[in-house]
Amino acid sequence: MPSKLSYSLLYRGTIIVWMVVKFMIQIYGFYFTHRFWDEQIQKKWEYLLARQAREYRKKGDQAWRRSD
């Protein structure tokens, strides 16, 4: 049976890698669909980043609590 520490590292590492891949796809998709920027697009960009930050904080907190 794997130790709790190795499971925790594997779980946290998987979550982090998946978030990086997901966030990069979202960012590239945003850039491809919004070639020219104005105030409205800037607000959408800020909303995307805020949404990613909330998800990062939530997942990071869950992974941290799970490892305890």
Rounded Cα distance, 60 and 64, in Å:
6
What pTM value is reported for the model?
0.75
pLDDT higher than threshold 90 for residue 7: no
- Read off the pLDDT of residues 17-40 as tens digits, 9 standing for 90 and up: 999 999 999 999 999 999 899 999
What burial letters (b/e) apply to 10-37, b meaning 16+ CB within 10 Å?
A: eebeebeeeeeeebeeeeeeeeeeeeee
Computed over every residue of the chain, the mean pLDDT equals 85
C-alpha distances out from residue 55 to 16, 29, 52, Å: 11, 18, 5
